[in-house]
Structure 1
Amino acid sequence: MTEAKKLVLTFKGSHGKSTSLTLAKFKEPVDPAKVKAAMTTIAQSKIFVTKEGHFKYMTPVSARIVATQTDAVDGVATEVSL
Structure 2
Amino acid sequence: MNIKILTPEHVIFEGEVNSVLLPGKNGDFQIMKDHVAIVSSLVGGNVKLYTSKISSEYAKYFRKERENDNVFSFEVKSGVIEFNNNNGIILAE
Q: Same fold (TM over 0.5)?
A: no
TM-score (norm 1): 0.31
Larger-gyration structure (1/2)? 1
Which protein has greater RCO, CA pairs closer than 8 Å, 6+ apart? 1
Hey, which of these two has a bigger chunk of helix by percent? 1
TM-score (norm 2): 0.29
